[in-house]
Amino acid sequence: MISFYVAFKLHCQDNVEQFPGRASVEERDNKSVNSVSRIEEQEVDGSRLVASQSSKVNSIKKNHRTGKQELMKSVQELASQAASRAKAEAAKNITPPKSAYQFEASWRELSDDHALQARLLKAVSPTALPQIFKNALSASLLVDIIKCVATFFTEEMDLAIRYIENLTNVSRFDLLIMCLSSTDRDDLHKIWDEVFCSEATPIEYAEMLDKLRSRYCLNR
């Protein structure tokens, strides 16, 4: 049995010696396989590196967007707070205007807050309107005041009528009415139909408001 094993081993060695290229081919095959394996490993490692870098880039972009959104939100909150403080200060500083210029300047300054415009109007006595505006009342401001009265003075209809009536005593009132644009005239028609002469208007004011409709040349 041992002799057979020795004979087989010698036979294998003889084959190697007789065919040396066979071993070289096997070695080359092994090297090729190893090379391919290394290349595949490098490709896998490269893919992992690219994926890792891409993930980092996406994370940076996400953090940048989040930071930018938070910054924008913070700026908007600051702007809102500043606007609120400005309105509060404006409300504290409302004083009765003594001229058409003062009234219109304050009115335009409060154009973003109609409630403050109503407070400005209330700071002026209705009977003082002709003296304040004299011949300097513009058609656009006249319409704005009527809109303000229709919006904020419906619970004080007596005061509302006094403002509407005293505006008709301003110098050049008839000329202002004649110069109203069709849009302004339509707006005034709507106010009289839906607010001043609606079914909700107390009967004791209805007749006076109907007369004022004629004064504003709003009869159909």
The DSSP letter of residue 76 is H
pLDDT for res 163? 98
Q: Looking at this protein, which amino acid is placed at residue 129?
A: L
Domains of the chain, residue spans: 2-62, 100-215
Q: Are 197 and 152 in contact (CB under 8 A)?
A: no
pLDDT for res 56? 75
Give alpha helix (H) positions in 93-156.
100-109, 114-122, 129-133, 139-152
Q: What is the pTM of this model?
A: 0.61
Residues of the chain with pLDDT under 70: 1-47, 49-50, 73, 80-92, 220
Sign of CA dihedral 193, 195, 199, 205: negative
Own/partner contacts of 142-145, CB < 8 Å, gap of 24 or more, are 142/167, 142/176, 143/180, 143/184, 143/187, 143/188, 144/107, 144/117, 145/121
